[in-house]
Amino acid sequence: MTKRDFTPSLTTRRGALKTMAGAAGAASLPLWARYAQAQTSEPIKIGFQVHRTGIGAAYGRWYDRTTQAAVKMINDGGGINGRMIEIVAEDDGTDPKRGAEVVEKFATQHNCDVAFGTLFSHVVIGSAPRAGELKLPYFVVSEGHHVASGMLNRYTLQPGITDVKSQVQAMAPYVANNLGKKVTMIFPDFAFGHDHRDYFTAAIEAQGGEVLEHIAIPPTETSFTKYFPKIPRDTEVIYHVMVGPAVLTFVKELGEFFGPSRPELFGFIDSLEAVDIASPGLEFLEGTYFWEGNPRYAQADQSEFDKAYRAAVGVDENGASVSDPKDISTYAHMFGCWETLHVLKAGMETAGYAGPDHRAKLIEAVEAMTDMPHSMEHPQGAKVFNGKTHQVFGHQYITKVTDGKLMLVHTTSIEDTMYPDEVDYTTQAL
């Protein structure tokens, strides 16, 4: 694994010194005085665009839980610039049209300082143009390549989670060298799935492999067996990434279709997010591989930061809720909410953010960020933010189902995930 020297700075040196000085000043006050100061100030309102209903509901529930935990940690530490965070949540139904309406409400009805939290890529694409028109900073936690591709605008940023293009670019060498080079892809038929189709196809071809068949499935589909006969007989690897409430059905039917004789399976954990791997019918997954943005199961080399983060969000070492072992988290994605909120805090403190008139300064402060060290603020791992493309880059993890658990077998370097810039948002007017 390639290593890199990560400097412990989230912002420019001047901004970091300013932040440190502010923190030192606040720390010199007694605890009650810090809270009193914060409570007499108007809260910072963060509009949380959450998928409470629709195909993203399982993610939305855990994005909410993670967001509340991060806000508690930040507020318990004195908030942002002495002001508490107030979350204003609105359900977008995992629907692009409603997403744009929610963004409008944040800006015009709730008077939010920023908008945050969107996951599903078609909702981001439907919402971001309105955020740009309203000049409302829009911090998405999505994974789609739509931000870094230049499709969106300067007011839309993705600083807390990596994108599909970087993920598949880093994964492809492992797949080609260890599992096979003749691949059939199964993916959801919308923007997120199309990113997988386009970028993994290019990435596996760069490794001397080929995609024999692309099988696109509507994300609202409830039965999948009719799609599997399209898989060519000479397929060596099935690459699957599925989303929505029927993911358990998808994986079960895939196993039933192949029985004991199957190609290698490489899945993105999206196909099993919020699903217990011990569920009946998933025994065939033993020995198969998954991409994970953050390993669901606590690994042997678990960091102190992952351990503390799990405790804060109420997740046990198996990735389930501490209050209900059957309630499986969306652990591979939800860390993005935690990390994005801490980026937002750092950006606001550097910018001296005092209200909507400072939104442009906030954007510029985040654009100036580069190295993000592995820390309590970034428990998933170290990252590098590209201010021109508004996209963060970080480590990716490949796990193997071993004795019914996802065990880490490969960690990419950050350099493995990087690609040439496709846009420079800093040239756009604020």
CA 106/CA 412 separation, integer angstroms: 38
Give yes or no: residues 207 and 258 share one domain: yes
Q: How far is CA 400 from CA 6, 252, 383, 407, 416, in A?
A: 28, 18, 24, 5, 20
Give yes or no: residues 270 and 354 share one domain: no
Task: With respect to residue 234, please indicate whether it lies within any of the assigned structural domains.
Answer: yes
CA 362/CA 367 separation, integer angstroms: 9
Give yes or no: residues 253 and 178 share one domain: yes
CA 25/CA 37 separation, integer angstroms: 13
Please write the tens of the pLDDT for every residue from 159-210: 999 999 999 999 999 999 999 999 999 999 999 999 999 999 999 999 999 9
Task: With respect to residue 304, please indicate whether it lies within any of the assigned structural domains.
Answer: no
Query: Can you state the angle between helices 13-27 and 331-351, rounded to 10 degrees?
Result: 90
Place of tokens 């700075």: 9
Q: What is the pLDDT of residue 19?
A: 43
CA torsion through residues 269, 271, 277, 281, sign: negative
Give yes or no: residues 100 and 150 share one domain: yes
For residues 394-413, average pLDDT: 97
Give yes or no: residues 48 and 136 share one domain: yes
CA 338/CA 67 separation, integer angstroms: 6
Q: Strand 405-411 to strand 182-188: parallel, antiparallel, or no bridges (unpaired)?
A: unpaired
Task: With respect to residue 223, please indicate whether it lies within any of the assigned structural domains.
Answer: yes
Please write the tens of the pLDDT for every residue from 234-250: 999 999 999 988 999 99
Task: With respect to residue 226, please indicate whether it lies within any of the assigned structural domains.
Answer: yes
Number of domain units in the chain: 2
Give yes or no: residues 121 and 174 share one domain: no
Give yes or no: residues 22 and 151 share one domain: yes
User: What is the secondary structure of 21-60 as a DSSP string?
Assistant: HHHHHHHTS-HHHHHHHHHTSPPEEEEEEE--SSTTHHHH
The CATH number of residue 220's host domain is: 3.40.50.2300
Give yes or no: residues 116 and 181 share one domain: no
Q: What is the pLDDT of residue 331?
A: 98
CA 31/CA 134 separation, integer angstroms: 38
Give Cβ neighbours of residue 133 (< 8 Å, ≥ 6 apart).
Answer: none
Task: With respect to residue 308, please indicate whether it lies within any of the assigned structural domains.
Answer: no
For residues 102-107, average pLDDT: 98
Give yes or no: residues 186 and 229 share one domain: yes
Kindly tell me if the per-residue pLDDT of 83 is higher than 70.
yes
Please write the tens of the pLDDT for every residue from 327-384: 999 999 999 999 999 999 999 999 999 999 999 999 999 999 999 999 999 999 999 9
CA 254/CA 249 separation, integer angstroms: 8
Q: What is the pLDDT of residue 213?
A: 98
Task: With respect to residue 402, please indicate whether it lies within any of the assigned structural domains.
Answer: no
Picking from 292, 312, 345, the residue at the C-terminal end of a domain is: 292
Task: With respect to residue 254, please indicate whether it lies within any of the assigned structural domains.
Answer: yes
Partners of residue 45 on adjacent β-strands:
86
| 140 contacts 156 by C-beta, under 8 angstroms | yes
Give yes or no: residues 217 and 345 share one domain: no
Task: Tell me the whole-structure pTM to 2 decimals.
Answer: 0.90
For residues 68-73, average pLDDT: 98
Domain range for residue 136? 13-162+331-394
- 3-state DSSP assignment of residue 370: coil
CB-count burial class (<10 Å; 0-12, 13-18, 19+) for 419:
middle
